[in-house]
Every structure is written in C-alpha cells, then in structure tokens.
C-alpha cells in the first residue's frame, strides 16, 4: 500500500478504513467477530489509518476498533497504525444529542476514548462538528493543551468552513480536515480545498463512494434496512437513485476501459485530485475491502481525468446530500 502525508508529518496509507458503518448509521451493527476480521484484514492489506468516533454506537465502534487493532498497537509487527477519533457531541441516554465542544467535554472525551481504544495517546483527534456556542479558538487551544500533555498527537476538524479552519489553524496547526467528498459531492472544491492546500492541511474524504451508490450496487429498487441513514437522505429516494444512475454510467465506461470496478474508478478519481487526499471508504466485507484498496493501483491519466470531468459535468445530481436540518449542523 502506498503512503501519503497529512499535514506536515502524519504518514498514513493512501486509503484508510472508515469503521462507522460496522456499528452505526447503516442499519443493524455487524457481527463483532466478523467486523474484527475485516479490520485485521485491512492491516494485512497495508491499511494503517482507521477512523472511528465516540458517537458511533455510541461508544461501541471505539471498543470494536480498540479490540480489533490490539495485536498491532505500539508498533507490534513493525506496523505504525494511526487511529483517528472525534469529540464534539453530547450523548444522552445512549443517543447523540446536540453539539458540545466545551473544553471540559473535549478533555472528558479524550480520556474516555483512550480507555475504549486501549491506547495511551490519540493519534488524530477531530472536532466532529463545529459548535456555534464555543469559539473555535477555545477548541483549538484545548486540543493544543492535550497535545502538550502527550494525550493527543494531531488536531483535526470535520465539516468545518474555511474561516473556522483558518482561526483554528492559527492557534493549533490542523493536520487534517475530514469532510464528504466524491464524484457527486464536490462543493468543497470552491473554497475549502484551496484553503487547506494553502495552509498545508491534509484532506480525509468520508463517503468517497457516495455511501455505496457510486460502487454501482444500489438502484431504485434497493431497500435499505431499518435505521439506515440513507432512508432519510434526499439523494437516496427512489426517484433520485433512478435519476442519478446517469453518473454511474460515466463511471462504468471508465471502469470497463481500465478493467476495474466502479468503486475503484470512483476512489481512483478522489486519489488523483491531490497527493494529500486520503479517502476512508467503509465496508463490512473483506472482498469489498480488497476491491477498494485496489484503487491505489489504478492510474488515471490527465486526459482520462479531463474526460471524467467533462462527462460528469453533464450530469445533474438529484437530491441534496443531507436534509436541511442536517446541513445546518455541519458548520459549513
């Protein structure tokens, strides 16, 4: 697996593994022993970058990741793993309940996340969503203190706007921004990506496969499980899925030409945008993990990228990525 660098000095595999869906967001949680097998298979395939958060479950995903990666921690087997987790929400009665990035909560989450993950230091600690009630300078200052105390190595933001990123970076250098980015979610190209490029901040796209849609396995007849977030997202209504298959046709053409899968082309496109972009597709299946990781070996030429750009620009994506209420909570 190739390596990439986030920020000044955080080296990770070119593709990471988003672990959320193993416990949260896409219907019933995966069977624990099977999910552990997937995470350990990722390590065997060269993945060194794993993404989780306290609210995934809540709590259960951190416990899963902590147990699955136990044999490889502290450089065992010569594998330097990077585990990213997040703070920034209240959790009430086992459910996410509004944002909370007050300094005392950041510290509380750091201590509890380390225990669940069974680690002595958090490699990358993201603010999960911007808290409008807490100045970002206070958030960055608290994480800076945690870094100085040896409890955190790197500071990250998620779904933050350009102004927020600049303010935070001035207090404590931001290593990575995590936000949604893919062939059909590209609003960050206008202001966010130029800002982080200027500041030397890495980019970690979540949902680089459009929550599975860009892999070509979802169509208008697909039924999502109870509790699957896609049941409430405008882009995944039956009508939207039928209309948005036009983008799949673009991807399929290049997949055939490159002897690759749709997922591999979609991921290869993300990887080709900047050398400091590290997507974190999620999966609960080893064969999909292997497929996704294969995208690293696909080289899209300048001409091919131009062709994909021209063809995809002709497709009108139907449905917003989130509901209006969810968009308001992203901090953009």
DSSP reduced 3-state for 254: helix
Query: Given this structure, which CATH class describes domain 3-211+273-298?
Result: alpha beta
* Catalytic choice (26, 56, 126, 236): 56
Distance CA 141, CA 18 (A): 27
The answer to whether 257 and 263 have CB atoms below 8 angstroms apart is: no
The answer to whether 140 and 172 have CB atoms below 8 angstroms apart is: yes
pLDDT, tens only, 90-107: 999 999 999 999 999 999
Distance CA 95, CA 92 (A): 5
Burial class (CB in 10 A: 0-12, 13-18, 19+), 46: middle
Distance CA 127, CA 177 (A): 10
Angle at 257 between CA 251 and CA 260, to 5 degrees: 70
Among the residue ranges 27-41, 70-84, 173-187, the one predicted with the least confidence is 70-84
Q: Give the Cβ contact number of residue 186 at 10 Å.
A: 14
DSSP reduced 3-state for 21: helix
Structure confidence at residue 332 (pLDDT): 34
Alpha helices in 172-279 (DSSP H): 192-199, 238-257, 262-273
- Greater confidence, 79 or 112? 112
56 catalytic residue (yes or no):
yes
Place of tokens 């990887």: 271
Which pTM was predicted? 0.97
Domain locations along the chain? 3-211+273-298
Reported as type and span, the H/E element at residue 287 is helix 286-293
Distance CA 179, CA 157 (A): 9
pLDDT, tens only, 271-315: 999 999 999 999 999 999 999 999 999 999 999 999 999 999 999
Distance CA 261, CA 9 (A): 32
């Amino acid at each position: 697996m190739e390596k990439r660098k986030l920020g000044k000095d955080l080296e990770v595999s070119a593709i990471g593994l988003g672990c959320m869906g193993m416990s949260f967001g896409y219907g019933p949680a995966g069977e624990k022993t099977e999910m552990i097998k997937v995470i350990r298979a990722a390590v065997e395939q060269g993945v060194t970058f794993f993404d989780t958060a306290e609210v995934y479950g809540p709590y259960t995903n951190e416990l899963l990741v902590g147990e699955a990666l136990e044999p490889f921690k502290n450089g065992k087997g010569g594998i330097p793993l990077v585990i990213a987790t997040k703070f920034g929400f209240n959790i009430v009665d086992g459910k996410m309940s509004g944002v909370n990035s007050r300094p005392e909560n950041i510290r509380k989450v750091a201590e509890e996340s380390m225990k669940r993950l069974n680690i002595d230091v958090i490699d990358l600690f993201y603010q999960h969503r911007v808290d409008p009630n807490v100045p970002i300078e206070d958030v960055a200052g608290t994480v800076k203190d945690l870094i100085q105390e040896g409890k955190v190595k790197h500071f990250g933001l998620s779904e933050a706007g350009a102004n927020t990123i600049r303010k935070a970076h001035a207090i404590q250098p931001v290593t990575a921004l995590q936000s949604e980015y893919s062939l059909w979610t590209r609003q960050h190209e206008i202001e966010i990506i130029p800002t982080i490029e200027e500041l030397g901040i890495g980019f970690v796209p979540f949902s680089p496969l459009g929550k599975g849609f860009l892999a070509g396995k979802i169509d208008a007849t697909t039924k999502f499980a109870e509790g699957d977030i896609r049941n409430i997202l405008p882009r995944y209504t039956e009508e939207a899925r039928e209309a948005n298959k036009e983008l799949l046709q673009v991807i399929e053409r290049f997949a055939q030409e490159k002897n690759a899968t749709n997922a591999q082309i979609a991921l290869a496109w993300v990887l080709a945008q900047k050398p400091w972009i590290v997507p974190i597709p999620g999966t609960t299946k080893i064969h999909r993990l292997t497929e996704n990781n294969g995208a690293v070996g696909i080289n899209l030429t300048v001409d091919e990228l131009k062709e994909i750009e021209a063809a995809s620009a002709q497709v009108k994506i139907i449905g917003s990525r989130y509901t209006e209420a969810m968009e308001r909570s992203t901090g953009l």
